[in-house]
């Protein structure tokens, strides 16, 4: 569904992505991991079309750059890392924005329904008519997720979607995304910091190190104590549990990352 | 046409009662009283005249300084007979030329160099900048004995700056006709040219009397809309034009407003149905002009204003433009004469303001008369 | 449970929309009434009964009052919608074309026209004002192209331009004659009476087409508020939208003030008032801003005309006096958020 080859990207004076390739198939949940500054956000933004890297990106067989923006919005939803703190509208309206690729002027019943559904799935139904600026940071992040879900796209690209959520909501959101991927064949790519979440929910993991792919594959293969030590510079203790692997950080290692 | 109240007694022009002129009221009073009982009054006249003359003589023989009253009413001791003068006040320059001391002017404001036709003798004088913001250093460098400027420009602090350089500043009004006799007389005494000053003031008084007669003979006090330089900026009661209009026997429709120039709505002007409109015009270098120049276009634009063809002024074409050359300074009586001619045609048929202007320019300024100063100039 | 929730949610949204439409209709009705009152008030005795007369009162009504009110409607809506669009595009509730320096540019252009051609040459003054107002915006957009076009960059560029042109105007005043200074100052006060019917046609030609052009982009403007990346991912061409919206706002503002002079605060206060009533959805916000702006202008104009008659307090001064307390009220009410 999404195929990226040999992506190179640099910010002025600072090269970030140095040849990253990745393929995404329907129904996959791919976790992009790596320390700060390795290029996770950059990679996601390139995949979403927000940045134009060197290399090729193909969406459903077509070059990403050639797809008109509105059509691309129906195929691909992007949740950036930072959600604006203030919007002069209600929560409902903020989620309704996600229907823009389908809207002409008046929202149709389908649009309203899709919005409402996303809100309900994420447990935001009671907040629907509160002002956006009145809800908490975690709730705002969920609103951003709801907006992406309302977009009803084939592909979800998310940059740290659970960073502001509490434990329970983290698990809820991740389960939801997995369910979505399974039931509707949606492809999900997300950047996470939490190794445990990645191990538990992702079907595939991508470990980035200094702008290149260090390892790729099922999480238990990619996330080994050695790989974590080399990439993150942290000693961890890996334990197997019924739900999946768990990682306990021990100390920052003496060898450089 | 509005009719104001007129006094049944013979109307003396207001300027005679101007308190700034110390000895006029006594003379005026005496002339009034003289109608009733002659002898004691003749004695009173003699005594008063003697007192005045003594006063004058005392001041005239007082020594190195002359005490005069400046625009703010303060008494200033000015060094007698200065040899080097800087004048930021173009009206004062005219008076100095009239007194025959124009060759002592070493510094002028930037208006003079823009009018070299009228001021050939000042071609070598130094331009010290704007009248309201001159270059103090340039002035100091000229080492003048006296600096002449307007009452309100340059702003406060100018005297202190000049005093620090040992230079005296004298603020004169000169642009208001009420202040002319006092200021001209003062300058005359400073330069010891009282005779020339008196010659001019006599001429001025005779002209003002003429005007007063014509105004008194005319029963009408027409309503006039006075406009300043900007569109629909009416002149209020504190403006110079208001004063001139009052002398000329007219009524300013904007007299309820105090400011010098204030925005008014076009509707209001139409509602007032003015008999005539007088607008201050921004024409420069009138002395060098042969025709009305830009004033003709301005007048066309005024007449074309919405609804003006439904006012008495618009219908009769009584829309006039005037420039500052004939409204301020030594020639201001000419401006008033024009207004009288426009407002009281019946009693001023034989009045020729251009003739008066020619007299002023040729007799008191020593220049050949030319130029166009008002429009239309019939 | 779900269908009922859906119905509730949809019903609630429908109610919200209904309330907003009600606000808009109410404002429109109020505007109609205020317009009629403005037509009836003035420094003369002419009134609505003079609609059919042809005498002086008829002339006053048709040639002075009606143009004034129509110009007020045009200018008010143009400035307010321009302000709302600028606020959306720059994501800054304190933004308006004036903040971008358009007013200073226009003032400088008018002053230049006055000094070079004379205050009576109307086309020179209005043309100068219009040209420089647009030049200001074009300059800022050019800067935005060279550097990254973040809203912060644009706002800073606008402030710099504002200072530049203010200094230019001061210089012209310094070099000018008494007469020119007076004309420049009076022009800068703002005045609806200068508008003749031809001017109104020209201003309408610039403002009226721009209004629907912005209304149609309402959804995209909504999206811009959520962030450039968010908007882009939802299919908005962000750079193009920013450019178009700013140009349209500049066109409307320049078209308004080149004939009337600087009338401030409408572009700032109008959208905020509208937001208080109908919220931030630009489908409602833009038309409501137009209504609020028109109302503000007409009310200010009527106050200026009648309060101190026969003095005519220029409308720019009245709007400033009305706008400043509003600002403080805004600042003090909702401390953290403007919107």
Q: Which residue of B has its CA nearest to C61?
A: B267
* Chain C positions in Cβ-Cβ contact with residue A69 (cut-off 8 Å): 232, 235-237
Model confidence at C287, pLDDT cuts 50, 70, 90, reads very high
Q: What is the pTM of this model?
A: 0.79
What is the three-class DSSP state of B59?
helix
Bigger pLDDT: B18 or C118?
A: C118
> What integer is the mean pLDDT of B62-73?
79
d(CA A38, CA A30): 17
Chain C contact partners (≥3 CB pairs within 8 A): A, B
Q: Which residue of A has its CA nearest to C8?
A: A116
What is the length of chain B?
A: 378
Model confidence at A189, pLDDT cuts 50, 70, 90, reads very high
> What integer is the mean pLDDT of B32-37?
51
Select from A48, A87, A151 the Cβ nearest to the Cβ of C280: A87
Give the strand pairing for A2-11 and A54-59.
antiparallel
Q: Percentage helix, strand, coil, to 5, in chain C?
A: 80, 0, 20
* pLDDT at position C172: 92
| Chain C contact present for A92, CB below 8 A | yes
Domains of chain B, with CATH numbers?
A: 14-60 (no CATH), 65-192 (3.40.50.1980), 207-375 (3.40.50.1980)
- CA dihedral over A115, A116, A119, A125, signed as positive or negative: positive
> What integer is the mean pLDDT of C110-137?
87
A1-60+183-257 CATH: 3.40.50.300
| Chain B contact present for C178, CB below 8 A | yes
Å between C220 CA and nearest CA of chain A: 8
DSSP 8-class letter at A107: P
| Chain B contact present for C170, CB below 8 A | no
Quick one: C305 exposed, middle or buried, by C-beta within 10 A (0-12, 13-18, 19+)? Answer: buried
Contact predicate C298/C72, CB 8 Å: yes
* pLDDT at position C57: 74
Give the strand pairing for B133-134 and B146-150.
unpaired
d(CA C31, CA B188): 67
Cβ-count burial A209-244 (b if 16+ within 10 Å, e if not): bebebbbbeebeebbeeebbbbbbebbbeeeeeeee
d(CA B260, CA C131): 33
> What integer is the mean pLDDT of B302-311?
90
Say whether C16 and A129 touch across the interface (CB within 8 A).
yes
End-to-end CA distance of chain A: 33
Q: Which residues pair with A7 in a beta bridge?
A: A20
d(CA A91, CA A132): 5
| Chain C contact present for A77, CB below 8 A | yes
Q: What is the pLDDT of residues B267-276, one digit of tens each?
A: 889 989 999 9
Radius of gyration of chain B from its Cα atoms, rounded to whole angstroms = 22
Q: What is the pLDDT of residues B170-203, one digit of tens each?
A: 888 887 788 888 889 989 999 999 999 999 999 9
The DSSP code sequence of C293-322 is HHHHHHHHHHHHHHTTTTB---HHHHHHHH
Å between A237 CA and nearest CA of chain C: 38
| Chain A contact present for C59, CB below 8 A | no
Q: What is the pLDDT of residues C314-339, one digit of tens each?
A: 888 898 888 778 777 776 776 445 55
Chain B contact partners (≥3 CB pairs within 8 A): C
> What integer is the mean pLDDT of A2-21?
86
Q: Percentage helix, strand, coil, to 5, in chain B?
A: 45, 15, 40
Domains of chain C, with CATH numbers?
A: 20-333 (1.10.3470.10)
- ipTM value for the complex: 0.84
Contact predicate C133/C255, CB 8 Å: no
Is the confidence at residue B3, as pLDDT, over 50? no
């Amino acid at each position: 569904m999404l195929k990226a080859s040999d992506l190179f990207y640099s910010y002025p004076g600072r090269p970030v992505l140095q040849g990253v390739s990745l393929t995404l198939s329907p129904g996959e949940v791919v976790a992009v991991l790596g320390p700060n500054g390795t290029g996770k956000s950059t990679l996601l933004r390139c995949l979403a079309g927000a940045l134009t890297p060197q290399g090729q990106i193909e969406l459903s067989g077509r070059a990403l750059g050639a797809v008109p923006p509105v059509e691309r919005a129906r195929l691909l939803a992007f949740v950036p890392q930072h959600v604006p703190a203030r919007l002069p509208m209600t929560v409902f309206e903020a989620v309704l924005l996600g229907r823009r690729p389908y809207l002409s002027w008046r929202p149709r019943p389908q649009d309203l329904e899709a919005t409402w559904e996303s809100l309900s799935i994420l447990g935001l139904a009671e907040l629907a008519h509160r002002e956006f600026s009145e809800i908490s940071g975690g709730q705002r992040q969920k609103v951003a997720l709801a907006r992406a879900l309302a977009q009803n796209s084939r592909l979800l690209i998310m940059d740290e979607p659970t960073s502001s959520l509490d434990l329970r909501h983290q698990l809820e959101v991740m389960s939801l995304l997995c369910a979505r991927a399974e039931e509707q064949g949606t492809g999900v790519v997300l950047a996470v910091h939490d190794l445990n979440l990645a191990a538990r929910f992702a079907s595939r993991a991508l470990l980035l190190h200094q702008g290149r792919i260090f390892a790729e594959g099922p999480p238990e293969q990619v996330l080994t104590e050695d790989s974590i030590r080399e990439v993150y510079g942290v000693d961890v203790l890996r334990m197997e549990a019924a739900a999946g692997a768990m990682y306990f950080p021990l100390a920052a290692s003496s060898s450089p990352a | 046409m509005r009719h104001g109240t007129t006094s049944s007694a013979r109307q003396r022009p207001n300027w005679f009662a101007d308190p700034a002129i110390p000895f006029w009221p006594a003379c005026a009073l005496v002339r009034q009283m003289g109608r009733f009982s002659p002898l004691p009054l003749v004695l009173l006249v003699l005594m008063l005249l003697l007192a005045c003359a003594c006063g004058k003589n005392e001041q005239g023989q007082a020594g190195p300084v002359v005490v005069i009253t400046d625009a703010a009413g303060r008494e200033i001791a000015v060094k007698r007979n200065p040899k080097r003068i800087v004048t930021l006040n173009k009206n004062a320059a005219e008076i100095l030329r009239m007194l025959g001391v124009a060759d002592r002017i070493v510094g002028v404001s930037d208006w003079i160099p823009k009018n070299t036709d009228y001021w050939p003798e000042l071609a070598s004088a130094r331009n010290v900048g704007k009248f309201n913001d001159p270059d103090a250093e340039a002035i100091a460098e000229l080492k003048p004995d006296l600096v002449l400027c307007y009452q309100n420009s340059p702003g406060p602090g100018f005297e202190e700056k000049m005093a620090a350089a040992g230079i005296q500043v004298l603020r004169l009004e000169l642009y208001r006709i009420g202040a002319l006799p006092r200021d001209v007389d003062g300058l005359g005494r400073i330069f010891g040219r009282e005779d020339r000053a008196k010659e001019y003031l006599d001429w001025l008084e005779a002209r003002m009397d003429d005007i007063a007669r014509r105004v008194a003979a005319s029963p009408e006090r027409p309503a006039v809309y006075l406009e300043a330089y900007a569109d629909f900026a009416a002149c209020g009661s504190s403006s110079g034009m208001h004063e001139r209009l009052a002398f000329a026997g007219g009524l300013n429709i904007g007299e309820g407003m105090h400011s010098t120039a204030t925005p008014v709505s076009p509707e209001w002007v139409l509602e007032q149905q003015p008999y005539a409109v007088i607008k201050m015009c921004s024409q420069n270098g009138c002395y060098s002009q042969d025709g009305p120049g830009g004033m003709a276009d301005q007048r066309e634009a005024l007449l074309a204003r919405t609804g003006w063809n439904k006012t008495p002024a618009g219908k009769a074409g009584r829309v006039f433009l005037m420039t500052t050359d004939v409204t301020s300074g030594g020639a201001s009586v000419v401006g008033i004469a024009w207004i009288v001619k426009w407002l009281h045609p019946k009693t001023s048929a034989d009045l020729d303001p251009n003739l008066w202007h020619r007299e002023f320019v040729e007799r008191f300024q020593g220049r050949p008369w030319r130029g166009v100063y008002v429009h239309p100039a019939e | 449970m779900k269908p009922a929730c859906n119905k509730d949610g949809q019903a609630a949204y429908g109610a919200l929309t209904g309330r907003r439409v009600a606000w808009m209709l109410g404002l429109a009705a109020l505007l109609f009434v205020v317009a009629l009152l403005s037509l009836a008030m003035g420094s003369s005795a002419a009134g609505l009964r003079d609609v059919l007369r042809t005498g002086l009162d008829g002339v006053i009504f048709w040639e002075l009052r009606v143009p004034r009110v129509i110009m007020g409607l045009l200018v008010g809506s143009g400035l307010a919608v321009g302000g709302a669009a600028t606020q959306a595009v720059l994501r800054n509730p304190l933004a308006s074309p004036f903040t971008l320096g358009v007013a200073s540019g226009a003032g400088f252009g008018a002053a230049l026209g006055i000094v070079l051609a004379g205050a009576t040459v109307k086309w020179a003054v209005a043309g100068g004002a219009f040209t420089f107002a647009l030049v200001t915006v074009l300059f800022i957009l050019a800067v935005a192209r060279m550097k990254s076009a973040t809203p912060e960059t644009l706002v800073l560029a606008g402030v710099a331009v504002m200072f530049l042109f203010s200094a230019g105007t001061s210089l012209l005043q310094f070099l000018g004659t008494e007469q020119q200074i007076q004309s420049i100052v009076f022009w800068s006060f703002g005045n609806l009476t200068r508008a003749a019917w031809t001017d109104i046609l020209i201003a309408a030609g610039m403002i009226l087409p721009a209004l629907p052009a912005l209304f149609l982009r309402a959804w995209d403007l909504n999206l811009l508020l959520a962030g450039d990346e968010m908007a882009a991912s939802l299919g908005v061409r962000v750079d193009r939208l920013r450019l178009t919206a700013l140009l349209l706002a500049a066109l409307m503002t320049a078209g308004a003030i080149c004939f009337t002079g600087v009338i401030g605060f409408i572009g700032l206060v109008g959208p905020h008032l509208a937001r208080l009533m109908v919220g931030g959805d630009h489908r409602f916000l833009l038309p409501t801003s137009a209504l609020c702006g028109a109302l503000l202008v007409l009310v200010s104009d009527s106050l200026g005309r009648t309060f101190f008659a026969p003095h005519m307090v220029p409308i720019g001064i009245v709007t400033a006096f009305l706008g400043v307390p509003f600002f403080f009220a805004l600042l003090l009410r909702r401390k953290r958020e403007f919107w």
